[in-house]
Amino acid sequence: MWETLYGYLDAKCATITDLLPAVAEKARPDDVHKLRTSIKRIRACGQLAKHFKGFKGKRYANVLKILQHAAGALRDIQLQQDSLQQYTRQNPQYKFFTTLLEDRHIQAKAQAQDTARSFPDAFIKKLRQQPAQLPHVSHKELSEHL
Protein backbone atom coordinates (compact mmCIF):
# COMPACT_ATOMS: atom_id res chain seq x y z
CA MET A 1 0.00 0.00 0.00
CA TRP A 2 2.84 2.38 0.81
CA GLU A 3 4.27 1.90 -2.66
CA THR A 4 0.87 2.72 -4.15
CA LEU A 5 0.63 5.99 -2.19
CA TYR A 6 4.20 6.91 -3.09
CA GLY A 7 3.57 6.17 -6.79
CA TYR A 8 0.34 8.16 -6.74
CA LEU A 9 1.97 11.20 -5.15
CA ASP A 10 4.95 10.93 -7.46
CA ALA A 11 2.66 10.93 -10.51
CA LYS A 12 0.67 13.92 -9.23
CA CYS A 13 3.83 15.91 -8.45
CA ALA A 14 5.11 15.12 -11.96
CA THR A 15 1.81 16.29 -13.45
CA ILE A 16 2.00 19.59 -11.58
CA THR A 17 5.62 20.24 -12.55
CA ASP A 18 4.82 19.42 -16.18
CA LEU A 19 1.70 21.60 -16.30
CA LEU A 20 2.98 24.72 -14.53
CA PRO A 21 4.80 26.01 -17.65
CA ALA A 22 1.82 25.12 -19.88
CA VAL A 23 -0.61 27.00 -17.64
CA ALA A 24 1.78 29.96 -17.37
CA GLU A 25 1.98 30.10 -21.17
CA LYS A 26 -1.50 29.29 -22.54
CA ALA A 27 -3.83 28.25 -19.69
CA ARG A 28 -5.81 25.84 -21.86
CA PRO A 29 -8.94 24.46 -20.16
CA ASP A 30 -7.68 20.85 -20.07
CA ASP A 31 -4.35 21.89 -18.54
CA VAL A 32 -6.04 24.09 -15.94
CA HIS A 33 -8.39 21.24 -15.01
CA LYS A 34 -5.58 18.69 -14.67
CA LEU A 35 -3.45 21.09 -12.65
CA ARG A 36 -6.30 21.92 -10.30
CA THR A 37 -7.32 18.30 -9.71
CA SER A 38 -3.72 17.18 -9.21
CA ILE A 39 -3.19 19.84 -6.56
CA LYS A 40 -6.43 18.86 -4.82
CA ARG A 41 -5.32 15.23 -4.74
CA ILE A 42 -1.86 16.05 -3.40
CA ARG A 43 -3.37 18.20 -0.69
CA ALA A 44 -5.77 15.39 0.26
CA CYS A 45 -2.87 12.94 0.54
CA GLY A 46 -1.03 15.54 2.59
CA GLN A 47 -3.92 15.58 5.04
CA LEU A 48 -3.30 11.89 5.60
CA ALA A 49 0.50 12.12 5.64
CA LYS A 50 0.63 14.97 8.17
CA HIS A 51 -0.41 12.53 10.90
CA PHE A 52 2.87 10.64 10.61
CA LYS A 53 6.20 11.52 12.16
CA GLY A 54 8.67 12.96 9.72
CA PHE A 55 6.18 14.58 7.32
CA LYS A 56 7.54 17.93 6.15
CA GLY A 57 5.29 18.73 3.21
CA LYS A 58 2.82 21.11 4.90
CA ARG A 59 4.46 24.23 3.49
CA TYR A 60 4.22 22.80 -0.04
CA ALA A 61 0.53 22.10 0.44
CA ASN A 62 -0.04 25.68 1.64
CA VAL A 63 1.79 27.18 -1.34
CA LEU A 64 -0.02 24.89 -3.77
CA LYS A 65 -3.32 26.02 -2.25
CA ILE A 66 -2.67 29.50 -3.69
CA LEU A 67 -2.19 28.03 -7.15
CA GLN A 68 -5.27 25.83 -6.71
CA HIS A 69 -7.41 28.88 -5.96
CA ALA A 70 -6.13 30.79 -9.00
CA ALA A 71 -6.63 27.79 -11.27
CA GLY A 72 -10.04 27.15 -9.71
CA ALA A 73 -11.25 30.68 -10.42
CA LEU A 74 -10.16 30.37 -14.04
CA ARG A 75 -11.67 26.92 -14.43
CA ASP A 76 -15.01 28.08 -13.01
CA ILE A 77 -15.18 30.86 -15.59
CA GLN A 78 -14.19 28.47 -18.39
CA LEU A 79 -17.07 26.19 -17.42
CA GLN A 80 -19.46 29.13 -17.17
CA GLN A 81 -18.44 30.21 -20.67
CA ASP A 82 -19.13 26.73 -22.02
CA SER A 83 -22.57 26.66 -20.40
CA LEU A 84 -23.40 30.16 -21.59
CA GLN A 85 -22.31 29.34 -25.12
CA GLN A 86 -24.66 26.36 -25.22
CA TYR A 87 -27.50 28.42 -23.73
CA THR A 88 -27.09 31.34 -26.15
CA ARG A 89 -27.34 29.03 -29.16
CA GLN A 90 -31.00 28.56 -28.26
CA ASN A 91 -31.49 32.03 -26.74
CA PRO A 92 -29.41 34.50 -28.77
CA GLN A 93 -30.94 37.51 -26.99
CA TYR A 94 -28.62 36.75 -24.02
CA LYS A 95 -25.43 36.78 -26.08
CA PHE A 96 -24.35 40.09 -24.51
CA PHE A 97 -23.53 38.16 -21.32
CA THR A 98 -20.64 36.50 -23.17
CA THR A 99 -18.87 39.87 -23.30
CA LEU A 100 -19.23 40.37 -19.57
CA LEU A 101 -17.94 36.88 -18.87
CA GLU A 102 -15.06 37.32 -21.32
CA ASP A 103 -13.79 40.28 -19.28
CA ARG A 104 -13.78 38.13 -16.14
CA HIS A 105 -12.08 35.32 -18.10
CA ILE A 106 -9.26 37.62 -19.20
CA GLN A 107 -8.65 38.73 -15.61
CA ALA A 108 -8.78 35.20 -14.16
CA LYS A 109 -6.51 33.86 -16.90
CA ALA A 110 -3.94 36.58 -16.26
CA GLN A 111 -4.05 35.87 -12.52
CA ALA A 112 -3.62 32.11 -13.01
CA GLN A 113 -0.79 32.64 -15.48
CA ASP A 114 0.98 35.12 -13.19
CA THR A 115 0.60 32.74 -10.26
CA ALA A 116 1.99 29.81 -12.27
CA ARG A 117 4.91 31.93 -13.50
CA SER A 118 5.75 33.02 -9.96
CA PHE A 119 6.73 29.50 -8.90
CA PRO A 120 10.53 29.41 -8.96
CA ASP A 121 12.38 26.49 -10.51
CA ALA A 122 13.79 25.60 -7.07
CA PHE A 123 10.27 25.10 -5.69
CA ILE A 124 9.33 22.93 -8.66
CA LYS A 125 12.43 20.75 -8.20
CA LYS A 126 11.73 20.37 -4.49
CA LEU A 127 8.10 19.53 -5.16
CA ARG A 128 9.25 16.78 -7.50
CA GLN A 129 11.32 15.35 -4.62
CA GLN A 130 8.52 15.45 -2.03
CA PRO A 131 7.20 11.89 -2.44
CA ALA A 132 10.67 10.56 -1.57
CA GLN A 133 10.60 12.69 1.60
CA LEU A 134 7.53 10.96 2.98
CA PRO A 135 8.16 8.87 6.06
CA HIS A 136 7.76 5.14 5.61
CA VAL A 137 4.61 3.98 7.36
CA SER A 138 3.65 0.44 8.24
CA HIS A 139 0.27 -0.97 7.30
CA LYS A 140 -0.65 -0.97 11.01
CA GLU A 141 0.16 2.74 11.41
CA LEU A 142 -1.73 3.57 8.24
CA SER A 143 -4.82 1.62 9.26
CA GLU A 144 -4.88 3.41 12.64
CA HIS A 145 -5.42 6.71 10.82
CA LEU A 146 -7.99 5.51 8.31
Instruction: Look at residue 117 and tell me whether its pLDDT is greater than 80.
Output: yes
In the prediction, which pLDDT does 140 show? Answer: 64
Mean pLDDT taken over the chain? 83
Instruction: Look at residue 73 and tell me whether its pLDDT is greater than 90.
Output: yes
Q: Is 77 exposed, middle or buried (0-12, 13-18, 19+ CB in 10 A)?
A: buried
**Which pTM does this prediction carry?**
0.78
In the prediction, which pLDDT does 44 show? Answer: 85
Instruction: Look at residue 51 and tell me whether its pLDDT is greater than 80.
Output: no
Residue 56: pLDDT band by 50, 70, 90 thresholds?
A: low
What integer is the mean pLDDT of 98-109? Answer: 92
